[in-house]
Structure 1
Amino acid sequence: MKIFRTVFRRSAVRNDSGRSFHVLDPWEADRFYRDIHRGYDAVFQAGQARISLQPTKPLESSHLIPVSRLVRPKAFFVQFDGFTPPANSFEDFDSWAAAVDCGTHRDCRVLPHHMFSPSTDWQALETEDQRQAFEAAHGGPTHLHDEKSRPWNQTNAWHGNDTLEVARFDLPTGFHWDVVSARNTSRMSSLTSAWRFDGKAYLNISPDGFIRAGQSKGATATKEDEAPRPAPPEPATPSKRERDRARRERQRAQRRR
């Protein structure tokens, strides 16, 4: 079991009137999102954690999404209501884990939707009706384009040794998309960084949101900015019992000399 804790942060824009939010640190959010592609996971949430889709910019409510939207449909999600025992969800999780809901790497549920269509919350891509609506908006697997009209090309030149998993389906090792700029300059944000790619440059983007810079005919994608990494935790202060034990051990060591 892994526990991810939020930080309490205040909005930096005037339109939010100084509101504060419980936000998952960008690097924690990235680790969390990658983890759910490496096994079948249940995500249990207490409270209302949010994740920033623009981690290198000042905090703003319009850039925040709930955790449930990030993990959907790649993991089993439960929101604690304070009354229902968590154990009541275990049977539902077992049923979810026993099914393979995604039958191919070309399924639209494999996409990192917080990067592909950040302004749209696709809440029911497990249904045929919503998958058809998605294809009407963004094309099918061989002609896929995001909400900024950038092609997401599925290439056979796969990179890396990771075999990721979505909804109990194992993806081909190294599977990714080549994302091409629709204009002279395009930008893309992951959960931790902001990228720029010009002209013929492109990005390799994996289902878990990992970005690798692509290069073509001298044009290279570049990382413009990155969220600050959290400071390492301060060492724990020894308790009085621990200090007394250490003092006695020093005294015994001195007597033995």
Structure 2
Amino acid sequence: MSGSARPQASEQVSVHFFSPPSGRESREQTEIRKVIENKCKAERAEFIVRRTELVKVAGGENSGRPFNLVRIEHARDLYEQIHRIPVITMSNIGCFIRRDPSSIPVRKKQLISLEGFVRYKSFFRIFRSPTECVTFIDELGSLKAAYYTTDVHDPRMLPLHIFDAEGNWENLEDVAQLREFRSRFGGGATRFDRCRREWANPKALHGRDILRVNGVEIPMGYHWDVTRKNGDERITTAHEVWKLPGSNSYCNIYPDGYIRPGQGNGKNRSKRVWP
């Protein structure tokens, strides 16, 4: 349902390692990357290097400053894979994901950190020095996201970068923050996102993908029925932009960020508008 993936029966750990563009990696950053690569080889884990791109942002005090951004296709692949196989996310530099991939120029307020992007769904670690890297002795196969969810009704199972394209919910394991989240967006079978669109439990399950997060299996075809209601017509993911033209327009959004258009024809049918 949500794009290509390796065989879902595989339990091989996959490490996605984010590093500066070729030619811009410092000696220390190179050493960090090589230590982690050797650790992956020793533990028979897959090691995938993802090079960031330097992009100058616009607006505010950061205007004109270059940021290390994860490429759009790499953000898509990472989020899809997190829901299929054991994925560990690591980096040797602070980097960010576009919340609106169509935005030109990129604005700092539209970015989410790599850590925030995978929070609750993948173990994350940034290494700042080779010494810190060498002392990292945990077995890769034992690592899971901190405070991960155990079922689909927990808000931590949501693709939070889509549900709330402005917020950073860093402590949803905390009772007070969870209460704040529910107070703002609702709980139970129906929630309203920051743009006032309705996210409801599905009336029927669609799709045959078996998704898993941190070993927790998600019911086959589980998604949220997202209806525009009085909310914004525009939905952004890390790699697409969709439009819900009318108040009754809807789509299905899956835990891995995949969007399935709602049924029906005519001007009110949901549609992808970028790319």
TM range (shorter): 0.7 to 0.9
Q: CA offsets, 1:16-36, max 9 Å, x none?
A: 431111111111111111111
**Which residue of structure 2 lines up, in the alignment, with residue 45 of structure 1?**
91
* Distance change (3 Å), C-alpha of 1:94 and 1:14: closer
Amino acid at match of 2:50: F
Correspondence for 2:233 among 179, 186, 202: 186
**Map of 1:57-136 to 2, 5 A cutoff?**
57-58=103-104, 59-82=106-129, 83-85=131-133, 88=136, 90=138, 94=142, 96=144, 101-136=148-183
Of structures 1 and 2, the larger Rg is shown by 1
Correspondence for 1:159 among 191, 196, 206: 206
Q: CA offsets, 1:49-69, max 9 Å, x none?
A: 111111111111111111000
- 2:195 corresponds to 1:148: yes
Correspondence for 2:215 among 161, 164, 168: 168
Deviation at 1:184, TM superposition (A): 7.5
**Map of 1:27-42 to 2, 5 A cutoff?**
27-42=73-88
Distance across 2 between alignment mates of 1:144 and 1:175: 16
Q: SS at 1:178's partner residue?
A: strand
**Which residue of structure 2 lines up, in the alignment, with residue 221 of structure 1?**
270
Taking structure 1 as the reference length, the TM-score comes to 0.79
Q: SS at 1:44's partner residue?
A: strand
Gap regions ≥5 residues in structure 2: 1-46
Q: SS at 2:162's partner residue?
A: helix
Q: SS at 1:43's partner residue?
A: strand
* Distance change (3 Å), C-alpha of 1:162 and 1:19: same
* Distance change (3 Å), C-alpha of 1:185 and 1:114: closer
Amino acid at match of 2:258: F
Deviation at 1:44, TM superposition (A): 1.2
Contact 2:225/2:253 (CA < 8 Å) preserved in 1?
Answer: yes
Deviation at 1:146, TM superposition (A): 0.6
Deviation at 1:103, TM superposition (A): 2.5
Correspondence for 2:64 among 15, 18, 33: 18
Deviation at 1:100, TM superposition (A): 9.1
**Identity, % of aligned pairs?**
30
Contact 2:208/2:220 (CA < 8 Å) preserved in 1?
Answer: yes
* Distance change (3 Å), C-alpha of 1:95 and 1:69: closer
Taking structure 2 as the reference length, the TM-score comes to 0.75
RMSD, aligned CA: 2.4
Distance across 2 between alignment mates of 1:103 and 1:190: 24
Q: CA offsets, 1:68-103, max 9 Å, x none?
A: 000001011111121312552525972648x99423
**Which residue of structure 2 lines up, in the alignment, with residue 241 of structure 1?**
none
Distance across 2 between alignment mates of 1:47 and 1:95: 20
Deviation at 1:2, TM superposition (A): 1.9
> Which structure dedicates a bigger proportion of its chain to helix?
1
* Distance change (3 Å), C-alpha of 1:81 and 1:130: same
**Which residue of structure 2 lines up, in the alignment, with residue 5 of structure 1?**
51
Q: SS at 2:79's partner residue?
A: helix
